[in-house]
Chains A and B, each alone.
Chain A
């Protein structure tokens, strides 16, 4: 069984469109994250939710809006897509909210290409 799953795996879309990426974890974890990995493989945390509450919100354009309907899901909605949004987006989860102390489990990633 997949622990952290993301859909879709690939997403190709035009500039200006709105798109969503879904993430689900079946590990019973309390905390979920979104990371962005750019073309140079640089990984940066975007958001973190603990028990459906936002606890980390890095400097990310407000076109990006995470939504956590329940503890097991953290979706990422992106409005007015731009070329620079092209990247691989990773979802992750951990038992607790401590980035330092809690092992994060990553999903397989969603490769977003904006044309």
Chain B
């Protein structure tokens, strides 16, 4: 069985500061991991995903995430926050095969001017 835990339902950072959104997963098989962003009143948009290969994954809008198997983590980072980054961020996990896809409960990011 798989699950996703996002620590911190709300995160606030100052503009220009480092963004760190945490995601831990549990999976009985090697996972595929995703980060999605949801801007207000919009659908989800894929930021980045890890399937196999390089554990540091770069996504859109300057975001990146690192798969750490030993820590069962896939934290999302961005070196310098912009006001436009304010949104809800969802981590998700699935198996390499099968039809199960699980989202975390989301982290709301606020960027303070």
Q: Which residues of A contact B (CB under 8 A)?
A: 4, 40-45, 48, 55-56, 90, 92, 97, 99-101, 103-104, 106-109
Q: Which residues of B contact A108 (CB under 8 A)?
A: 41-43
Q: Which residues of B contact A (CB under 8 A)?
A: 32, 36, 41-46, 49, 51, 88, 90, 94-101, 103, 105-106
Beta-carbon contact of A99 and B43 below 8 Å: no
Contact of A104 (CB < 8 Å), options: B46, B96, B100 = B46
User: How far in angstroms is the closest Cβ of chain A from B58?
Assistant: 15
Beta-carbon contact of A100 and B105 below 8 Å: no
User: How far in angstroms is the closest Cβ of chain B from A57?
Assistant: 10
Closest to B100 in A: A99
Q: Which residues of B contact A56 (CB under 8 A)?
A: 99
Q: Which residues of B contact A43 (CB under 8 A)?
A: 44, 90, 103, 106
User: How far in angstroms is the closest Cβ of chain A from B28?
Assistant: 14
A-B pairs, 5 with minimum CB distance:
A106-B43, A43-B103, A100-B32, A99-B101, A100-B94
Beta-carbon contact of A41 and B43 below 8 Å: no
Q: Which residues of A contact B103 (CB under 8 A)?
A: 42-44
